[in-house]
Amino acid sequence: MPKQRVTIKDISGELGVSCAIITRALNDRPGVSDALRRRITETARRLGYQPNSVARSMARSPIRIGIVIPCQWQSFYSSLEKGIAAELDSLLDYKVTGEFYRVENPYSADDYISKLEACANDGVDGILLADIYPVGLDDLFGRISEKKTPIVTIGLPGKNTESVLSSVSVDSYCSGVMAAQMLSKSVDAGGRVVIFVGSRENEEHSLKISGFTAEAKRQGLRPEGAYETNDDAAVAERIFENLSQSGKAPDGIYLATSGAQTLPELIFRMGVGTRIVTTDVSDELVSAFRHKNMVCSIFQDPEKQGRLAVRALYESLAEHIEPERKILIPPSIVIEANLAQFIEK
């Protein structure tokens, strides 16, 4: 027979104390002596009491979460939004809802500020901020902090750390290390390798550069630069063409952002031998795995990042559980053999 759920009535019968007093004690409300509160909590723990979260949620006000998220780079942000939406769906019974505020240009401080201000001015209970713009938000973050509105970022918050409750991101330094190690399997010692990022000012991209450069040197490769693309595929292609003039294409390249996923196709058309490590999985990359230039992709699991960020914010607002300041997701390696399971994500 399944074990019957322990209730407040069971604790009441064990201690001979009213259910009202037990409820006050377990919810840390006044009107209960310290000694009795300890007896109640110890008994609840011994009996295996678990609070009914759904019932408690029905007794409190609804929770509204504002989600500030870029519109671009569907290979990452559509999966991220899928994870956010799935976690919000799982919290519907707990009176939790989310509203999206979409940033048209993630490299515009003005666009980020306007959407973040709109979100804060709408009186949301908490803010989920995706891929934070690296500069120009200090004053706004300070004002949001004064309102005691918690902020969880997807991506590292950079200089704004003190104003952020928690951040959820892939382990970016590890991603860079993994990319260099994988290139070292197919690029000869002394081979020239480069890394393309969206922006050096993005904390995650900066960590990828550091991890990649350090490990490439350790593996006997020659790192020859980190190039900023602003996550613009045309810019990435132009940079690679310039690097490849006079037959000097790099031996290996790490595309450390989802904004340059058309570049492998250009490399294939050029007929150069550059070995490629990419980021995540997109429609453009699926066919690329058939080419010999492709080594692997470093998967950041954006769907999981979205779910964890919503959960951290909910637990802080509803359960008063303080999340870890930095929640890191280990990256995964995608090759042709296991590509299908990541497409399903």
Boundaries of every domain in the chain: 8-49, 61-170+302-329, 172-301+336-342
Count of beta carbons in the 10 Å neighbourhood of residue 154: 27
Residue-averaged pLDDT of the chain = 87
- Residue ranges of the chain whose pLDDT lies below 50: 1-2
**Identity of the amino acid at 210:** S
In DSSP notation, 40-106 reads HHHHHHHHT----HHHHHHTS--EEEEEEEES--HHHHHHHHHHHHHHHHHTGGGTEEEEEEEES-T
Q: Tell me whether domains 61-170+302-329 and 172-301+336-342 share a fold.
A: yes
- Looking at domain 172-301+336-342, its CATH superfamily turns out to be Response regulator (3.40.50.2300)
List the CATH code of the domain at 8-49.
1.10.260.40
List the CATH code of the domain at 61-170+302-329.
3.40.50.2300
**Identity of the amino acid at 70:** P
**Identity of the amino acid at 257:** T
pLDDT score for 94? 80
pLDDT score for 73? 67
Compute the half-sphere exposure of residue 108: CA atoms within 13 Å on the CB side of its CA: 14
Cα 216 to chain centroid distance, Å, stands at 26
Which tokens sit at 11? Answer: 């604790």
pLDDT, one tens digit per residue, over 240-256 is 999 998 788 999 999 99
- Give the closest residue to 87 by CA, choosing from 325, 310, 343: 310
Count of beta carbons in the 10 Å neighbourhood of residue 55: 8
pLDDT score for 313? 94
pLDDT score for 228? 94
- The b/e string for 107-126 (b: 16+ C-beta within 10 A; e otherwise) is beeebbbebbeebbeeebbb
For residue 13, give the H/E element and its range.
Answer: helix 8-15
pLDDT score for 1? 42
Q: How far, in Å, are 75, 163, 202, 282, 306 from residue 279 at the CA level?
A: 10, 29, 16, 9, 17
pLDDT score for 213? 98
The neighbouring-strand residues paired with 103 are 70
Radius of gyration, CA atoms only, the chain: 25
pLDDT score for 158? 67
pTM: 0.79
Which tokens sit at 98? Answer: 């989310």
pLDDT score for 298? 96
Contact 229, 235 (CB under 8 A): yes
- In eight-state DSSP terms, residue 2 is P
pLDDT score for 112? 82
Compute the half-sphere exposure of residue 271: CA atoms within 13 Å on the CB side of its CA: 1
In DSSP notation, 218-262 reads HTT-EEEEEEE-TT-HHHHHHHHHHHTGGG---SEEEE-SGGGTT
pLDDT score for 15? 92
Contact 101, 119 (CB under 8 A): yes
- In eight-state DSSP terms, residue 186 is T
pLDDT score for 254? 98
Count of beta carbons in the 10 Å neighbourhood of residue 322: 12
